[in-house]
Structure 1
C-alpha cells in the first residue's frame, strides 16, 4: 500500500456516507480558500515581487501533494493557481472587509463540514489525526477524479481499506462522558 493509499483510506474511513462527501465538496474548498485569503495579506517584497504567506503555503502543500501522487499534486497546484488571484483581491480589501470575508468563508466551510459529519455519525478525521487537515483537500480532489471515472483501481483499493478501518473503528468501545 502506498503512502497515498494509506492516508486517503484513513481519511475515507471517516467519510463513507455520500451526503458527508457531498458536503465536503463545498466545505473543504471554502476552508482552503479562506486560508489563502487570510494568508495572502502577509507579504514581503523580494526584487519587486510580492511573496505572500499564501504563496508559501501553496508551494509547501503542492510539494507535499506531489510527493504523494504526481497527478493529484499537479491538479491541486492548478487549482491553487486558479483561485490565488481571487484570494489576492480579497486580501486587498479594507482590513474589516478582508477579515469579515475570510472568516465568514472559513465559518461557512466548517458548517458544511459538521453537517456532513452529522450524516456520517462520525467525528471529523482530524480529531484523531491532525494530518487529516492536510489530506482533506486531497481527498476531495481524489473523490472528484473518482467520480469522473478515472483511477478506478486506486479508488477500489482505498475504499476497501477504508471500509476495513471503519469496521475496526466501529468495534472499539465508545467512551461516554
Structure 2
C-alpha cells in the first residue's frame, strides 16, 4: 500500500488542532523553546570527542534538515529561534557542569509538566501521544506553532 505525502499545511493544521485553549498556547509559547534549550543543554553535557561539535548541535542540524526539506517557509524563523537558543546554551554552558546539567534537567521536567497540565486543562492529549502516525512531525511542528503564534501577537 502506497502512502501519500501529507502537505505542510495539513500537518500544521493537524498539530494546531491539539492547541486551541489560549492558556495551553501560552504555555507552549514559553515551554517549547525552553524544552529545546534544555534538550540541547542535556545532550551537550554528554562528553564526545568531536571537537567543538556537541550532540545537541547535531540535533539542531537534524531540525534544520527537516525544515529545509519539509517546512521551507519556516526555515528562517526556525533558524533564528534555534540560533537564539544555541546562544543561550552557550552562555549557560559557562556555568559549572553540574549546575549547567541540573538547570537543564529542571527546565525540561518543569516545562513538560506544564505542557501536560495545559493539555489536561484543554481536555486532550498531546499530538505526539494521540496520533502515532504524525508523532515525528509533531516534534518538528512545535517550534513552528510557537513561531506562528508569536507572529500573531506582534
| The two structures share one fold, judged by TM-score above 0.5 | yes
Question: Partners in 1 of 2:108 and 2:102 — Cα distance?
Answer: 10
The number of residue pairs the alignment matches comes to 145
Instruction: Tell me by how many angstroms 1:10 deviates.
Output: 1.2
Q: Where does structure 1 lack aligned partners over 5 or more consecutive residues?
A: 149-177
What RMSD, in angstroms, separates the aligned Cα atoms of the two structures? 2.1
Counterpart of 1:9? 13
- Return the alpha-carbon distance in structure 1 between the equivalents of residues 93 and 43 of structure 2: 8
2:121 matched to which residue of 1?
A: 119
Partner of 2:38: 34
TM-score after normalising by structure 2: 0.82
Q: Which residue of 1 aligns with 2:139?
A: 133
Superposition deviation, residue 92 in structure 1: 4.4
| 1:91 pairs with 2:93 | yes
Cα distance between partner residues in 1 of 2:63 and 2:19: 22
Which is higher, the Rg of structure 1 or of structure 2? 1
The aligned residue for residue 106 of structure 2 is 104
Q: Encode CA deviations 1:117-163: one digit per residue, 9 max, x unaligned.
A: 13311111111232222221221112222444xxxxxxxxxxxxxxx
Aligned ranges 1:132-171 → 2 under 5 Å: 132-148=138-154
When the two structures are superposed, what TM-score results if normalisation uses the length of structure 1? 0.72
Question: In the alignment, what sits opposite 2:75?
Answer: 73
Structure 2: tracts of 5 or more residues without a match? none
Render the CA deviation track for 1:42-94: whole Å, top value 9, x for unaligned: 44345xxx111121111110121232333311111112112213213333433
| Pair 8,32 (structure 1): closer, same or farther in 2 beyond 3 Å | same
